[in-house]
């Protein structure tokens, strides 16, 4: 064999490791730039998918939810009485899973005719992570009885609101 040929083309161990290190360091820089970019986008709220989730108002079919609004100190719900009877709402309560839960002043007891809309309002709302610009899930309980029923048994109905509190 040609000894000159072996020496000239013999690969150097140091040059292979240097090429590997340069290859890896190039991609580490690229990975760091991508990570910083994704972190910045997350910080500025681009990846806040909660703002794309629809707002919901869920009640039973006897009380259809038409609309609702979540203001920083007030909650309004528009419901329709589909029971087929005139009723008297005796109490309203609103809560959530926060610790401590939300605290609101419900409106007093009222009579509600069948097939009509009613605006239900909770005022002076505070606590319970009820913060302007944030999403909340609220649970509403309502007790009522049918006015024309002689024994007037009390019924309890529950509903949910899932939405974003408006800013100011």
Residue 52 is predicted with a pLDDT of 75
Residue 147 is predicted with a pLDDT of 93
Give the least confident one: 12-21, 31-40, 137-146: 12-21
148/13: higher pLDDT: 148
Residue 19 is predicted with a pLDDT of 75
Residue 104: count other Cβ atoms within 10 Å of its Cβ: 23
Mean predicted lDDT score pLDDT of the chain? 86
Residue 128 is predicted with a pLDDT of 83
Helices (H), the chain: 3-9, 13-43
Hey, which CATH number is domain 50-164, 1.10.3470, 2.60.40, 3.30.460, 2.50.20? 2.60.40
Q: How many CA atoms lie within 13 A of 74 on its CB side?
A: 10
pLDDT digits (tens, 9 = 90+) for 59-105: 998 999 999 999 988 999 999 999 989 999 999 999 998 888 999 99
Contact yes or no for 145/84 (Cβ under 8 A) = no
User: Which tokens hold the place of 112?
Assistant: 């509600």
Taking residues 103-131, what's their average pLDDT?
92
Helices (H) and strands (E) in the chain, counts: 2, 9
pLDDT digits (tens, 9 = 90+) for 19-40: 777 777 778 888 899 999 999 9
Hey, where are the domains in the chain?
3-47, 50-164
pTM above 0.85, yes or no: no
Residue 5 is predicted with a pLDDT of 52
**Over 90: is that where the pLDDT of 132 sits?**
no
Contact yes or no for 87/145 (Cβ under 8 A) = yes
Give the least confident one: 29-33, 106-110, 137-141, 152-156: 29-33
**Sequence-distant contacts of 148-153: CB under 8 A, at least 24 apart:** 148/85, 148/86, 149/85
């Amino acid at each position: 064999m040609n000894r000159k040929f072996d020496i000239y083309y013999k690969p150097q161990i140091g040059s292979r490791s240097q090429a590997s290190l340069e290859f890896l360091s190039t991609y580490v820089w690229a990975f760091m730039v991508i990570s910083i970019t994704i972190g910045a986008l997350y910080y500025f709220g681009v990846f806040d998918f909660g703002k794309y989730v629809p707002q919901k108002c869920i009640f039973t079919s006897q009380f259809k939810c038409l609309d609702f609004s979540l203001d920083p100190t007030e909650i309004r719900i528009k419901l329709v009485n589909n029971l087929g009877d005139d009723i008297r709402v005796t109490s309203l309560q609103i809560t959530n899973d926060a610790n401590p839960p939300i605290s609101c002043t419900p409106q007093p007891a009222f009579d509600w005719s069948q097939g009509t809309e009613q605006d239900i309002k909770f005022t002076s709302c505070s606590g319970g992570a009820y913060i302007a610009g944030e999403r909340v899930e609220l649970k509403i309980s309502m007790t009522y009885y049918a006015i024309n029923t002689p024994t007037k048994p009390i019924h309890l109905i529950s509903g949910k609101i899932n939405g974003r509190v408006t800013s100011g």
